[in-house]
Amino acid sequence: MAQRPIIWALGIAATVVVSALSYSEQLAQGFGEERPSVASVTTTAKPASTARPTLTVAADYRGHYMVHPTIDNYRVKMMVDTGASIVALTASDARALGIGANTGGRKIMLSTANGVVAGTSVMLREIRLGDIVVRNVEAVVLPAGALQTSLLGTSFLGKLQGYEVQTGRMVLRG
């Protein structure tokens, strides 16, 4: 007899969870949004002769937007981070770009999700992402171990015509 109330309670809990998930999807669709779908990392460029270049990037399985721009003629794996105020380079990516510890950049303190980190400011001549080209982009080089993947922050994104996220895709307009 004691097992029946437990089974009954588990049944109600399962019904509530299923209803809540169904209701949240209905709400998202009602507002013109959909839950981000799990998508492979793909990028597609849509060049137009008279319009600004557009690039669409699919979210990966974690919901991150990974891109491979060319910075000063060197290809770098980066995560698009709309919450990062500046482009942030890992120490290894900076070395590959020929940016050493003694670049002459000023030392700055950055507040990150992992705490305060000292970095070195640099100016990147050009970041090319598909047909989108942005010149003179402010960036920071972080010390080894402070960052796993370089970040494409708003010092790049802010120079675009715009960007938006919808249905698991990010659209960048050059």
How many separate domains does the chain show? 2
With cut-offs at 50, 70 and 90, classify the pLDDT of residue 172. Answer: very high
74's tokens: 């060197």
With 0-12 / 13-18 / 19 or more C-beta atoms within 10 angstroms meaning exposed / middle / buried, residue 116 is exposed
Q: What is the pLDDT of residues 126-139, one digit of tens each?
A: 999 999 999 999 99
Q: Which of 40, 172, 147, 144 is nearest to 87 (CA)?
A: 147
Structural domain of residue 29, as residue ranges?
1-35
Residue 41 has pLDDT above 60, yes or no: no
For residues 17 and 68, state if they share a domain: no
Beta-bridge mates of residue 80: 152
Q: What is the pLDDT of residues 75-103, one digit of tens each?
A: 999 999 999 999 999 999 999 999 876 66
With cut-offs at 50, 70 and 90, classify the pLDDT of residue 112. Answer: confident
For residues 66 and 99, state if they share a domain: yes
Q: What distances in angstroms separate CA 151 from CA 15, 108, 147, one per listed residue?
A: 41, 17, 9
For residues 48 and 126, state if they share a domain: yes
For residues 99 and 127, state if they share a domain: yes
> In angstroms, rounded to a whole number, what is the distance separating the alpha carbons of residues 91 and 129?
21
CATH of the domain at 162: 2.40.70.10
Mean of the per-residue pLDDT values of the chain: 80
With cut-offs at 50, 70 and 90, classify the pLDDT of residue 35. Answer: very low
pTM of this prediction? 0.69
- Specify the range with the lowest mean pLDDT, choosing from 23-27, 32-36, 45-49, 54-58: 32-36
